[in-house]
Amino acid sequence: MKSKTIRRWSFIHTWTSLICTAFLLMLALTGLPLIFHHEIDHLLGDAPELKQMPADTPHLGLQQLVRAAEAHRPGEVMQYFGWDEEDPNGVVAIMARTAGTEPNSSHTFMLDARTGEAVEMPSANGGLMMVMLRLHVDMFAGLPGKLLLAFMGILFVMAIVSGTVLYLPFMRRLEFGTVRQDKSTRLRWLDLHNLIGVVTLTWALVVGVTGVISACTDLIIAAWRNDSLGAMIEPYRGAPPLTQLAPASRLIDIAKAAAPDMQPDFIAFPGTRFSSEHHYAVFLKGSTHLTSHLLTPVLIDASTLQVTAIGERPWYMDAMGMSSPLHFGDYGGMPMKILWAVLDVLTIIVLISGLYLWLVRRKAAKPVAVEAEVAA
């Protein structure tokens, strides 16, 4: 590779790395506990626990659960119902003053599907894990924070690609994995920096790309609302507002009849950003690890309970659905979480060592510049 080309790639690698390093360190440090958020919630006592009851205890109807939720939070309206992944007897309810209230201002709690008893979820409403999540997702800055982190993710991917290009000629001179112990501290750290960077290359690219996608979630949902959802609710444009909702009791049966072999993931009530003013939207998922993150919406008229549309999934919604589990390693059990944590720690070492190498190089360059000025 020509020296001029190397200098260009070195410039790209240096400055993309430097600009995003502080943000990447924050993301790596907050992402580490988020990998184990279920386990930490249980350790801190923030995880909701339902009463022990016989296994064959029947569940209440969906409308009964709606009434139980409304009794628990009087003056608020239902936004979403979801099913807990860990406990089949748990139903997660999200409520707010209005159906259109933005997610960070809503209140999340769990209902015991057998009794309707409400159980609070501190970790979903401002606990330690929620603080970590907000820092990781938007730094408590909403959409501007998400877009800033998306830009930092793009710089991170550019730093990975440029670093790989620079490492290729380096590998021709030394065997893979070589750390020159007999050289200076700077060269030893350079070798470690390069080695760990190559070892974590694929993982870092996956996490970087999925992080950018996740940071653009609001924009992706807005595009889906304008495109796919807009087309599905077009016949209702200009329709008078609903004065009363039909009971939610049969929503799951209706949706499953319309889309067989799929399971409910969550229900969006009328007026939320995943539905319309005139529809319940039941989002169904597949039964495999892959399809469990790919959601198909079934729109049900909120007054007649007739299915009006079964939404096709745009590619960008599939990308969004797959990005979160890939980003946090949340699809392969504890072994995958441990692997993700180890790679996260190695990435922190790469980031810190890269910053150290730049500072040492900059410090060493100053005397040379001074000598050149004196000689001139």
* CATH code for the domain in which residue 278 is found: 3.10.450
* 3-class state of residue 280 by DSSP: strand
Q: Note whether residue 230 is domain-resident.
A: no
Q: Note whether residue 234 is domain-resident.
A: no
Tell me how many domains the chain contains: 3
Instruction: Answer with the one of 105, 127, 149 that is the final residue of a domain.
Output: 127
Residues in the chain: 376
Residue in this structure with the two tokens 């070492």, named with its chain if needed: 349
What is the Cα–Cα distance from 76 to 326, expressed in whole angstroms? 35
Could you tell me if 258 and 320 lie in one domain?
yes
Q: Note whether residue 300 is domain-resident.
A: yes
Q: Note whether residue 238 is domain-resident.
A: no
Instruction: Answer with the one of 75, 97, 127 that is the final residue of a domain.
Output: 127
The pLDDT of residue 171? 67
The pLDDT of residue 84? 81
Could you tell me if 206 and 337 lie in one domain?
yes
Could you tell me if 305 and 264 lie in one domain?
yes
pLDDT tens-place string over residues 184-217: 888 888 888 888 888 899 999 999 999 999 999 9
Could you tell me if 22 and 154 lie in one domain?
yes
The pLDDT of residue 303? 95
Could you tell me if 141 and 208 lie in one domain?
yes
Residue in this structure with the two tokens 């993700």, named with its chain if needed: 340
Q: Note whether residue 346 is domain-resident.
A: yes
The pLDDT of residue 177? 63
Q: Exposed, middle or buried: residue 202 (CB in 10 Å: 0-12, 13-18, 19+)?
A: exposed
Could you tell me if 168 and 206 lie in one domain?
yes
What is the Cα–Cα distance from 212 to 216, expressed in whole angstroms? 6
Contact yes or no for 214/34 (Cβ under 8 A): no
The pLDDT of residue 99? 94
Could you tell me if 123 and 159 lie in one domain?
no
Could you tell me if 115 and 170 lie in one domain?
no
User: pTM (2 decimals)?
Assistant: 0.87
Task: Give 156-211 as a 3 state SS string.
Answer: HHHHHHHHHHHHHHHHHHCCCCCCCCCCCHHHHHHHHHHHHHHHCHHHHHHHHHHH
Could you tell me if 247 and 321 lie in one domain?
yes
For residue 88, what are the domain limits? 57-127
The list of the chain residues with pLDDT below 70 reads 1-2, 170-178, 332, 365-376
Q: Which amino acid is at 217?
A: T
pLDDT tens-place string over residues 323-342: 988 888 877 678 889 999 99
- Three-point CA angle 245, 246, 249, nearest 5°: 125
What are the structure tokens assigned to 296, written together?
A: 């198909």
Which residues have CB under 8 Å from 95's CB, separation 6+? 69, 70, 73, 76, 77, 78, 79, 106, 107, 109
Instruction: Give whole-number Cα distances, 6 to 50, 116, 167, 281, 365, in Å.
Output: 60, 65, 10, 54, 19
Q: Note whether residue 157 is domain-resident.
A: yes
What is the Cα–Cα distance from 103 to 100, expressed in whole angstroms? 9
Buried b (16+ CB within 10 A) or exposed e, 332-367: eeeeebeebbebbebbbbbbebbeebeeeeeeeeee
The pLDDT of residue 367? 56
Instruction: Answer with the one of 77, 104, 127 that is the final residue of a domain.
Output: 127
Could you tell me if 304 and 342 lie in one domain?
no
- How many other CB atoms are found less than 10 A from the CB of residue 191? 18
Kindly calculate the radius of gyration of the chain based on its CA atoms and give it in whole angstroms.
26
Q: Note whether residue 236 is domain-resident.
A: no
Residue in this structure with the two tokens 């793009």, named with its chain if needed: 154
Could you tell me if 119 and 251 lie in one domain?
no
Could you tell me if 324 and 338 lie in one domain?
no
Q: Note whether residue 309 is domain-resident.
A: yes
